[in-house]
Amino acid sequence: ETEPDLTGLVGLSEQEQLAQVLSFSREADRREWEYRTRGIKVVSEPSEGEAGCLNIYLVVGNQQLSRRFWSDNTLQDVYNWAATHEHVFELLGSNDIQLVDCNKYPPLVLGEKPVERSKTLEVLGLWPSGRLSVEPLGKVPEAPLPPSSLHDP
């Protein structure tokens, strides 16, 4: 891998230099992400309305992505899809990710152990649909307060 040519920074303001260096860093991050995701296999998506398929809703920052999977696809299949998605890269860069089950309280990181990633989506309770959040690996999931009827007399 070649180092960026920094000779073009001479004569630029400090702010312009910073912007240029950040651009070099982002380009290197993109090359690393493309290299890491090149061999990842993403399973084919079932047609809408097919029997035995489910929807996974992936929360990435303030965006929600969705995709259909077969109920017997594995959690690793969802990890593969998320890791290769352009929007996930734009938000988190080439860093490793974790998927958090937002259907559970408190939210639960799925697939921390490799054996968990081989479980089917149905076994994990993601059928007929699941809502997962993509977060940087190691981040402790935030647990918003659950709805409560205690406030109503």
Residue 43 has pLDDT above 80, yes or no: yes
- How high is the pLDDT of residue 15? 77
Who contacts 123 (Cβ-Cβ below 8 Å, separation ≥6)? none
User: Which two structure tokens, joined as six digits, stand for 103?
Assistant: 């259907």
How far, in Å, CA of 34 to CA of 19, rounded? Answer: 22
| pLDDT top residue among 151 and 112 | 112
| pLDDT value of position 58 | 95
52-77 per-position pLDDT tens digit: 999 999 999 999 999 999 999 999 99
Q: How far apart are CA 104 and CA 135, in angstroms?
A: 16
Task: Pick 36 or 56 by higher pLDDT.
Answer: 56
Q: What confidence score (pLDDT) does residue 59 get? A: 95
Higher pLDDT, 146 or 102: 102
Q: Are the C-beta atoms of 93 and 20 separated by less than 8 Å?
A: no
pLDDT of residue 46: 96
- The model's pTM is 0.75
Mean pLDDT of 18-28: 68
Q: Which residue has the higher pLDDT, 20 or 89?
A: 89
pLDDT average, residue stretch 109-128: 95
